[in-house]
Structure 1
Amino acid sequence: MFRKFRTVLAAAAFIVATYAAAAEMSGAHPDTYVVKKGDTLWDISGKFLKKPWLWPEIWQANPQIKNPHLIYPGDVISLAYLDRVAVQPGPRQDAPIGAIPLSDIEPFLKNLRVTDSFEQLPRVVGLEEDRLRSSGGQLVYTVGLEGAQVGQRFAIVRPTLRYTHTRFVSNGRYATYKEDLDFRGKRLGSQTIDWERNWNSAALDTGPQLELLGYELAQVSVGTLTRGVVPGSDASTLVLEGNGHEVRVGDRLIPVEAQPYDLQFFPHVPKVLQPEGKLQIAAVADALTSGGPRDVVAISGGSREGIDNGTVFSIWRQGSHVIDRQHDPEDSRLTETRPNSRTRAGGSDHVLPDEYAGHVMVFRTFEKVSYGLVMEGTKPARVGYALKHPDATY
């Protein structure tokens, strides 16, 4: 339903204005770099900086650059000096390189959102000629739009996922859990995969401190209100636009927003530190078990945790909790891999170090859930992997 993301942060170049920033240079680098069509800021930063997510700070240290975020293919970036950045303008024939190509992330920016509840939303109660499905140009009948104006546009959405979060009292570890929903928003069960949405999440245990993080709503179509409630009826009438998926009874409605998302993204470190293991990958888009660079993941945290668009995290596989068979060959337990457990259960148990997997940058934030783009990595990023400060080393 939604195509896989082939994006990375966009745009251009940098040099350091202070020796502190210079320390982040990755070593030998050319005196100049010519920006190419298709370049991204993260990619270019990765060539010359140890920490690609620091590029906004470097640009801010160079106020002589009038607009450092408008870099064009053909621009020549000077990397020869540590005390200034020089940009020689190119032909300016192509569009500037943006932070993230909006055409690639549009499905997640426009067609998906996370909300605390959906039952109270206006809903579709009938379709033209009592059809089972309706598409572009056809009428749908709704309730709950009292007071809406004729001509107002509404997004028709459908609940698809339910996110929950659990903290276990016994060992203090966290688990994030995703369940697929049917078209009515009813839970399908932990093992069911919605192949049309094609997210995947591990079936993790629930516990006494279960918290609802939100419901994901997917936009299926857009309709325009053509008639309000008339005598003898209690339903309003909408006509569906030509693009979109089929609408069915039970779908919900929300007003169309002109621009509900950011147009530019500038990476930065988290503003608020969270307890170890609290932030996790909750789901992966377009994959069954794991994701890699340029894939999209859902994160079990949002604005409530101080996360905003551009926040960068490192992704870590939690160290396994293993049994030392050599020390105690009579131990009959099976080998365990218990993430987030930092206490040894016995003398023959060992907790292995966490393993670095990659970096992810948030591009859409809700109160308790965020969407992020995996920027780069050394191994697949899986559901349940923990998120830490981008500079974390263990």
Structure 2
Amino acid sequence: MIRIISALLIGVAALVPAGAGAAGPIRLADDAPDSHVVVSGDTLWGISGKFLREPWRWPDVWRLNREEIRNPHLIYPGQVVVLDRNGPTLKLGKRIGGPQDRPLYEKRFPQVYSDPARNAIQSIPLRAILPFLSEPLIVDDADDVRAGIVVATQEGRVFTSPGDTIFATRINPEISNWNIYRKASPLKDPLTGELLGFEAAYLGQARVSAQAGVLAPDADGETETTREGAPIPASLIVTSFKQEIGKGDRLLPAGPSDLPSYVPHAPEQELTGRVVSIYNGVGGAGRHNVVAISVGKRDQVEVGHVLALHRNRGETIYREDNVGPAQRYKLPEHRYGLVFVFRVFERVAYALVMESDGPAAVSDSVRKP
């Protein structure tokens, strides 16, 4: 795939996104190198952290505008990221010789790269979130209304496994691959109690083998609209599973499993939400654990947003020398980490904990850093 990355090289003032919502001067990391050779396994977050104290300031040092944040350049192993400390700005460079411990580079001007996109580095560690990219996580009443329903299993089995056939209604004939899920616990805003959706338990995937209304391959076109009696559900073959699949489970179209390579960036608008769940029900989330937060598309949250984690320290009551009226104090929140949003639903988003000096907990705040 051919990518044009001309916007990386010359800091034209018209392209600067007014700090992309970030305040204050850009602060370099204490041991920021003059350059970094990109290797397989690098991420945009990791490279940014080598140069910056605040990795979400990546758009500022590359001088990216709003559109380029959402459709960014791709960076490949073998390329060289060079730091210009006068900006500071980052650019792509090319090794031109010199000792291995002191390489020399030349700045490169706009040109076309034809590296395969599949080799480009990701925004964050893909292995930490891969299961979350294609599996349904949040379903609401609207999803449930349009979801397919498993009405029977092969030979009346209580549960099925890969290779078995299931039968379902409300299957769109134009869609072949389906995710199978079971509605789990409701997600509610810890403060308001608003129902944000249901966190779905992912069960597996199935592929349509016969459309609804087909009695048999040699049934001469007989369909449920022409055949008298009970309707005939669609047949699907289970292709993968994590948990047993049975009658009453739901199906939604399987979506893409790729992660857009959005650069890490702060929201332009002020944003406040809460951690509503720790995925898999663990007590606290550390680095590279996944959390659900109470903001989503309706709050203009998007993939690539970086939010700061703040711990709610609660309140205390103090009576001086145990005399006089008691005074209630609300303790200030403590900022202790950062999360990177990688999947967004209408009222909920999922984020990966990138930095933390303590476990994230339900009811902790997330805000624009």
Q: Report the TM range for the smaller structure's normalisation.
A: 0.7 to 0.9
2:86 aligned with 1:88: no
Distance in 1, matches of 2:27 and 2:339, equals 20
Instruction: Determine helix, strand or coil for the equivalent of 1:309.
Output: coil
CA contact (8 A) 2:168 2:234 kept: yes
Q: C-alpha displacement at 1:330, in angstroms?
A: 7.1
Query: Partners of 1:297 and 1:54 in 2: how far apart?
Result: 22
Alignment partner, residue 99 of structure 2? none
Instruction: Say whether residues 1:100 and 2:128 are aligned partners.
Output: no
State how far apart, in whole Å, the 2-side matches of 1:46 and 1:283 are. 27
Residue of structure 2 in register with 1:256 after alignment: 254
The aligned residue for residue 329 of structure 1 is 322
User: Post-superposition shift, 1:58?
Assistant: 1.8
Q: Which has the higher helix share?
A: 2
Distance 1:227 1:290, change over 3 A: same
| TM-aligned CA deviation for residue 47 of structure 1 | 3.0
* Distance change (3 Å), C-alpha of 1:286 and 1:235: same
Whether the 8 Å contact between 2:290 and 2:353 is mirrored in structure 1 is yes
Identity rate of aligned residues, in percent?
A: 31
TM-fit CA distance, 1:242: 3.2
User: What is the TM-score with the length of structure 1 in the denominator?
Assistant: 0.69
> What is residue 75 of structure 2 aligned with on the other side?
71
CA deviations on 1:237-279 (whole Å, 9 max, x unpaired) are 323233223310110122334x2764222222223324xxx51
> 1:36/1:291 Cα in 2 relative to 1: closer, same or farther (>3 Å)?
same
SS at 1:44 equivalent: helix
Residue of structure 2 equivalent to 1:318: 312
Aligned residues of 1:319 and 1:352 also touching (Cα < 8 A)? yes
1:111 correspondence with 2:135: yes
Residue 241, structure 1, aligned to residue 245, structure 2: no
Alignment of 1:203-242 (within 5 A): 210-220=193-203, 221-229=205-213, 230=215, 231=227, 232-242=229-239
Q: Please, what TM-score do these two structures have when normalized by structure 2?
A: 0.73
1:290 to 281, 284, 289: 284
- The match for 1:154 is 178
Which deviates more from structure 2 when the two are superposed, residues 308-317 or residues 104-113? 104-113
C-alpha deviation, 1:226, in angstroms: 0.9
Cα deviation for residue 312 of structure 1 reads: 1.3
Distance between the aligned counterparts of 1:386 and 1:151, measured in 2?
A: 39
Question: Higher mean Cα deviation, 99-108 or 245-254?
Answer: 99-108
How many residue pairs get aligned? The number is 312
- Kept after mapping to 1: 8 A contact 2:45/2:123: no
Query: 1:133 corresponds to which residue?
Result: 159
| CA shift digits 1:74-131 (9 cap, x unpaired) | 3332224425644234798993312234454221110123232154232111111111
2:44 pairs with 1:44: no
CA 1:330 to 1:212, structure 2 compared with 1: closer, same or farther past 3 Å? Answer: same
C-alpha separation between the residues in 2 aligned to 1:135 and 1:228?
A: 21
Letter in 2 for 1:307: V
Using the alignment, how far apart are the partners of 1:72 and 1:273 within structure 2? 33
Pair 1:114–1:152, CA change in 2 (3 A): same
For structure 2, the 5+ residue unaligned runs are: 1-7, 97-114, 216-226
- CA RMSD for the aligned pairs? 3.4
Indicate the structure (1 or 2) with the bigger Cα radius of gyration: 2
User: AA paired with 2:285?
Assistant: G
Structure 2 match to 1:280: 274
Q: For structure 1, list consecutive stretches of 5 or more residues without a partner in the other structure.
A: 1-13, 167-173, 176-209, 332-345
Superposed displacement of residue 373, structure 1:
0.7
